Amino acid sequence: MTDSALAFAEHDHGHCRETMLDELASVAKTRGLRLTPARVRVLELLSEAHRAMGAYELLDRLRAEGLGSQPPVIYRALEFLIDAGFVHKIERLNAYVACCHPAHWHGDGLGGEPGACFLICSRCRRVAEVEDGALDIAIAQAAAGRGFAMRRTVLEIDGTCPACRVSAP
């Protein structure tokens, strides 16, 4: 979709949204997935925000737009989008972000598939997804060197984004 560095830069969020929706439509058609208005809208909201959003924040937006008012609506939409590879859950924040690389499999750590790495701004909650083969290799080697069989890799790195660092008192 977009370069993950865009999460911390000013840019056209509409372009991110449209690109992501085009990819979702393509994947849905190829895999025979059913797109509901709530699923599409959740992905729109996440792809234009570039920040972690909680389930209830998303549900409030859906409710205001008449797309659902009960928690199962948002959790089903998020589960669908995670399973399809378009959304990640940021455990540290108990929130969700759009995947910057939905075409890439964020594997289970077996066979050299890349994991997921996130840079999370603790002030504005923007999240940048990092895709770095060298990082994946270093983690796999560290685990293998200790006889550890990796199943899944997710790194969540807490810090401050460039914009928040500049605006800090």
Please state which CATH number belongs to domain 116-167.
3.30.1490.190
pLDDT digits (tens, 9 = 90+) for 59-94: 999 999 999 889 999 999 999 999 888 899 999 899
Q: Which ranges of the chain does DSSP label H, i.e. alpha helix?
A: 13-31, 37-49, 55-64, 71-83, 133-144, 162-167
User: 98: number of CA atoms within 13 Å, CB side?
Assistant: 30
Per the listing, tokens 């928690």 go with 71
pLDDT value at residue 1: 35
**pLDDT of 107 higher than 80:** no
**pLDDT of 5 higher than 70:** no
pLDDT value at residue 11: 60
Taking a C-beta distance cutoff of 8 angstroms, is the pair 102, 27 a contact? yes
pLDDT value at residue 16: 74
Cα–Cα dist 130/169, whole Å = 28
Cα–Cα dist 67/114, whole Å = 35
Structure tokens given for 122: 């603790």
pLDDT digits (tens, 9 = 90+) for 136-166: 888 889 999 999 988 778 899 999 999 999 8
Cα–Cα dist 163/149, whole Å = 39
Please state which CATH number belongs to domain 4-98.
1.10.10.10
Q: Where are the domains of the chain?
A: 4-98, 116-167
pLDDT value at residue 111: 46
Q: How confident is the model at residue 8 (pLDDT cuts 50, 70, 90)?
A: low
- The alpha carbon of 82 is separated from its chain's Cα centroid by a whole number of angstroms, namely 8
Cα–Cα dist 21/86, whole Å = 10
Taking a C-beta distance cutoff of 8 angstroms, is the pair 168, 160 a contact? yes
Contacts of 124 (CB under 8 A, 6+ apart): 51, 161, 163, 164
Which amino acid makes up residue 92? R
pLDDT value at residue 83: 87
pLDDT digits (tens, 9 = 90+) for 12-58: 667 777 888 888 888 889 989 999 999 999 999 998 887 899 999 99
Reduced to 3 states, what is the DSSP secondary structure of residue 159? strand
